[in-house]
Chain A
Amino acid sequence: MRLVILEDYNLSCEWAAKYIRNRIIQFKPSAGRFFTLGLPTGSTPFGCYKKLIEYHKNGDLSFKYVKTFNMDEYVGLPRDHPESYHSYMWNNFFKHIDIDPANVHILDGNVTDLEAECAAFEKEIAQAGGIDLFVGGIGPDGHIAFNEPGSSLVSRTRVKTLAKDTIIANARFFGNDLAKVPTMALTVGVGTVMDAREVMILITGAHKAFALYKAIEEGVNHMWTVSAFQQHPRTIFVCDEDATLELRVKTVKYFKGLMHVHNQLVDPVLSVKEQ
């Protein structure tokens, strides 16, 4: 893996956004060859989306030939509810960029046949040629998407009942009323994300530090599902200083020492204007 450590939240968001930008532009997507991006929601990627929007508004980045697949969506929450992941993606990303709505894929948690919806989603990913870069976050319990502790490390897109930790973590979006938080969600599986050609995990904040430690310094374990990516050929963890608080000093020093190598991935930062 690459462990890219930036000083603070904003710098880590910017690094991640630059990386995504460069990957899309290097790929030279076109009408016959789309760049497929897996996307997360939540507070961690918020700053990254802001930067991507900025690059788009400056004319440096276009999403015209990008297809997106979101990781998850709540079950039973109306799509226009302000806390649905559809709302999050619209307000924080899609409404500000030039993506074609036909190229956006988000699981629908309001269909009658949830299993069919999950199977269809896997099929759509396959039809799109697989995912080029899957961006994700990590929960305080080390989960990726809604693959809660105990999820199979080869799981596919399916319905999951949320763990207590996750419900508590999400309560802040529902007026701190635990009763209002959805209890089930549709989520891509660990296996689904592992299938991506490249994975980038964003981890910021001291409250994620223990999960990061479990994910990269301990063994592969279905109790900390992000640990599965130790077995992926191309994974980047982008984090801030606070997220490294539970790591060994040796780990942090080693990867900080590689920053000059990591930074070659984002410097120079490319632009569609030059193409």
Chain B
Amino acid sequence: MPSNKYVSDSTIIQFVNCKILREHKLQRDDLWVREGKILDPEKLFFDEKRSADQRVDCKGLIIAPGFIDVQINGGYGIDFSQATNDVRGGVALVAKKILEHGVTSFLPTLVTSPPNIYHKVLPEVKVHSGGMEGAGVLGFHLEGPFISLEKKGAHPEQYLRSFLSDGISDLIETYGTLDNVAMVTLAPELANSHTVVRELTGRGITVSLGHSVANLSQAEEAVQCGASFITHLFNAMLPFHHRDPGIVGLLTSDQVPHGRTVFYGMIADGIHTNPAALRIAHRAHPSGLVLVTDAIGAMGLPPGRHTLGQQVIEIQGLHAYVAGTKTLCGSIATMDMCVRHFKQASGCSVEEALEAASLHPAQLLGISHAKGMLDYGGDADFVLLDDALNVRATYIAGQEVWRK
């Protein structure tokens, strides 16, 4: 029936008595949801002449967009880089558990692995929306193997690769497929990297610089070719030097093409980055800061030895080391812990802390029209928090998927 008015019978839910993060400010306003999207109540009132079917009293809690983790290697005993019999089940388990941390979308991350691992794992998980079963998968983050030997960190040396032919063939040969891949971390100083960066960016895949000994010019060239992210800033790259700031210099580079932003991941677990370094980065480039957990399979597990990729790691308190060394191999912090720690260490506002885990990753991935914001028409993925930023409830597509 042709009509210039949108008519629907779906339930309209009005979240009242809350503070919502909108337009960079926490505002006392109601949040309206219908059919999994954020609804414009004024349009509803005047166009459809309808009011809410259900009211949810949020008792003064904060409503923020759901958190998006773009670097998470596993958790709860699951290691995404292991080709088990049930890759899909493993991803699903983590997806379900991270709802408790306020994460509504994530990029399951694979560290440097042999081709057979990628060929086995990648086809098993497709991009899909979240819901009661768990957070949504936005695609894989492939961290390696095209990285620098000197900055391999916890990645297994024997599986590092470089771009031997035109670059693309190397990618396909290594990964098997680029379908359902949202991000690739590579070292831009590798030969032939420019074509690779351009090709990946052209396919809508975010290119991140990391595990690299690139100098600032090499990093800037990569950004000009389309790279837009830095994998865990400060870690696995040359330290800032005042005559060659290296990748860190991208935060204040004047060579970034106009209209584009270079985002950078920060593991704000209090261990991977000294709070003073966190503050320097934040103050230099606050709008680019993206909180990531870089959580490993041991996140959520008790202390002791566990497997990560092709290596064994050891948990001591909040630290996770390559077994027998003092090399950090990822964090076991949860996203909400990172948000709280970031706020406390940087002294930033509540809004900034929340946006670093939601808006900024959404902007990085180019999905901020749908996620990372509570704007009308966007996906109703959000999290209810108290003033201390503890997660009380998580919602995906307007449906409560976890409650404390």
Q: Which residue of A lies closest to B30 (CB)?
A: A95
Looking at chain A's contact residues, the main secondary structure is: helix
Flag if B42 contacts A90 (CB, 8 Å): yes
Give Cα A90 to B29, complex, Å. Answer: 13
Give Cα A102 to B50, complex, Å. Answer: 8
> Could you give, for residues 45-61 of chain B, a 1 whenever the CB lies within 8 Å of some chain A CB and a 0 otherwise?
11011110000000000
> Could you give, for residues 31-46 of chain B, a 1 whenever the CB lies within 8 Å of some chain A CB and a 0 otherwise?
0000000000111111
Flag if A80 contacts B42 (CB, 8 Å): yes
Task: Tell me if A271 counts as interface (CB < 8 A to partner B).
Answer: no
Flag if B49 contacts A95 (CB, 8 Å): no
Flag if B49 contacts A101 (CB, 8 Å): yes
Chain A residues near B30 (CB-CB < 8 A): 95
Give Cα A105 to B372, complex, Å. Answer: 36
Provide a sorted-by-A list of 26 A–B residue pairs whose CB atoms are within 8 angstroms.
A79-B46, A80-B42, A80-B43, A86-B42, A86-B46, A87-B42, A90-B42, A90-B45, A90-B46, A91-B42, A94-B45, A95-B30, A95-B41, A95-B42, A95-B45, A100-B49, A100-B51, A101-B44, A101-B48, A101-B49, A101-B50, A102-B49, A104-B45, A104-B46, A104-B49, A106-B46
Within 8 A of B (CB), among A164-214: none
Given A95-B42, A100-B49, A101-B51, 14 additional A-B pairs, CB 8 A: A79-B46, A80-B42, A80-B43, A90-B42, A90-B45, A91-B42, A94-B45, A95-B30, A95-B41, A95-B45, A100-B51, A101-B46, A104-B46, A106-B46
Tally A residues with Cβ within 8 Å of B: 13
A binding-site residues for B, Cβ under 8 Å: 79-80, 86-87, 90-91, 94-95, 100-102, 104, 106
Chain B residues near A87 (CB-CB < 8 A): 42
Shortest Cβ distance from A124 into chain B, in angstroms? Answer: 14
Shortest Cβ distance from A262 into chain B, in angstroms? Answer: 35
Shortest Cβ distance from A103 into chain B, in angstroms? Answer: 9
For the complex of A and B, 7 pairs with smallest distance between CB atoms: A101-B49, A101-B45, A90-B42, A102-B49, A86-B46, A101-B51, A90-B45
Give Cα A137 to B50, complex, Å. Answer: 29
Shortest Cβ distance from B381 into chain A, in angstroms? Answer: 24
Give Cα A106 to B30, complex, Å. Answer: 23
Chain B residues near A80 (CB-CB < 8 A): 42-43
Give Cα A101 to B30, complex, Å. Answer: 17
Chain B residues near A106 (CB-CB < 8 A): 46
Within 8 A of A (CB), among B48-78: 48-51
Q: Which residue of A lies closest to B41 (CB)?
A: A95
Shortest Cβ distance from A49 into chain B, in angstroms? Answer: 16
Chain A residues near B44 (CB-CB < 8 A): 101
Q: Which residue of B lies closest to A101 (CB)?
A: B49
